[in-house]
Amino acid sequence: MKIKIFHFFALCAFWLAACNIPVDMMMGGGDSAAIVYPVDGAQFQIGDVVDVKTLVNFSAGASSAILLVNGVPYRADDFTQPIPSGYTFQPWTPTEEGEFNLQVRLSGADGGFDSQTVTVFVGAASSIPTPIESTEASPTDITQTDEPQTSATATVSVVQPTATIQLAPPSLTPTVFIPPTLTPTVIVPANSSISGSVYRDENGNGNFNPADAPLSGVTVFLGTGACPSSGFQSAQTNGEGRYTFSGLFAGTYCITVDVGSLPSIGGTWQASLPNPKETSVAESESKGGMNFMFQPIIQ
């Protein structure tokens, strides 16, 4: 009679060692971090680039990650923006043989915490568990009695444990920030001015004579662009017949005297100089001499 014995508990121990993710993360617990690569017992050679992959679940968002090798910081990475969930990748290159403990420390606005410790080996294999072989009982191991022997076979069925782990963290798409093209804004100062006087031209020759008197209270209009144009500003002549338009941008303007605002003389007024008058000013220019003369015509 042959009896085949499978070591159930030994197989379960190997299965649990292969599961590299902490139980709290598998059950959807709170903040946690789990190194998913490499796994416990992995072997590497000196000079290999080992990309340590960590699954992050951090409600406040991880702002930095430190890779610890045997408890000593190996590298630190600061993130441009907090990572609430997803994966981090931190390369490690061993430079000597031996047994190494890897751990990742996450930090954020609410503090920080460490992942589980993963032990790997560099160089020759060390402390690698050896599978337990099945043993088979030989016929000499069975005690015989005087009773009639009947052939019997005992079969032990071992149910292999299975675990289904579904990890569906949101995929992280890096955001590339492209700064906008800055166009310099040119500020043009409005610091130019136009001024002049309005006179009574007694002889109508358009030239100032001692007998020509200034006219006060006359309305003068200013427009932008070529004549005819008005409506941009207005002013009244003072007691000396002067007017001024200030706070102007550089450009072309049209100046017009409102003939209806000239004093009443019992007749009409005839312009001795052009009305309206067109002129231009440059930036920060104060242009004067924009004069007007009107001859009184009395019947």
Q: State whether 109 and 221 are in the same domain.
A: no
Given a contact cutoff of 8 angstroms between Cβ atoms, the answer to whether 252 and 226 are in contact is: yes
Q: State whether 128 and 215 are in the same domain.
A: no
Q: Give pLDDT tens digits for 102-113.
A: 999 988 877 888
Q: Is residue 74 part of a domain?
A: yes
1 alpha carbon, distance to own chain's centre? 76
Q: Is residue 166 part of a domain?
A: no
Q: Give pLDDT tens digits for 124-168.
A: 544 444 444 444 444 434 344 444 444 444 444 544 556 566 666
Instruction: Give the pLDDT of residue 62.
Output: 87
Q: Is residue 174 part of a domain?
A: no
CATH code, 261:
2.60.40.10
Instruction: Give the pLDDT of residue 187.
Output: 75
Instruction: Give the pLDDT of residue 127.
Output: 45
Name the stretches of the chain with pLDDT < 70. Answer: 1-30, 124-172, 177, 185-186
Q: Is residue 72 part of a domain?
A: yes
Q: Is residue 183 part of a domain?
A: no
Q: Which of 31, 43, 41 is nearest to 82 (CA)?
A: 31
Q: Is residue 164 part of a domain?
A: no
Can you tell me the distance from the alpha carbon of 107 to that of 221, in angstroms, rounded to the nearest whole number?
Answer: 71
Can you tell me the distance from the alpha carbon of 9 to that of 212, in angstroms, rounded to the nearest whole number?
Answer: 125
Given a contact cutoff of 8 angstroms between Cβ atoms, the answer to whether 71 and 28 are in contact is: no
Q: Which of 126, 127, 121 is nearest to 48 (CA)?
A: 121
Query: Residue 198 belongs to what domain range?
Result: 192-297
Given a contact cutoff of 8 angstroms between Cβ atoms, the answer to whether 120 and 96 are in contact is: no
Q: Is residue 147 part of a domain?
A: no
Q: State whether 36 and 114 are in the same domain.
A: yes
Tokens, residue 227: 């004549």
Beta bridge partners of 297: 268
The domain total for the chain is 2
E strand residue ranges, 10-123: 32-37, 43-44, 50-69, 72-92, 98-108, 111-114, 118-122
Q: Which of 103, 138, 173 is the last residue of a domain?
A: 138
Tokens, residue 158: 């071992």
Q: Which of 138, 155, 172 is the last residue of a domain?
A: 138
Q: What are phi and psi of 141, to 5 degrees?
A: -80, -5
Q: Which of 138, 154, 177 is the last residue of a domain?
A: 138
216 alpha carbon, distance to own chain's centre? 63
Q: Is residue 182 part of a domain?
A: no
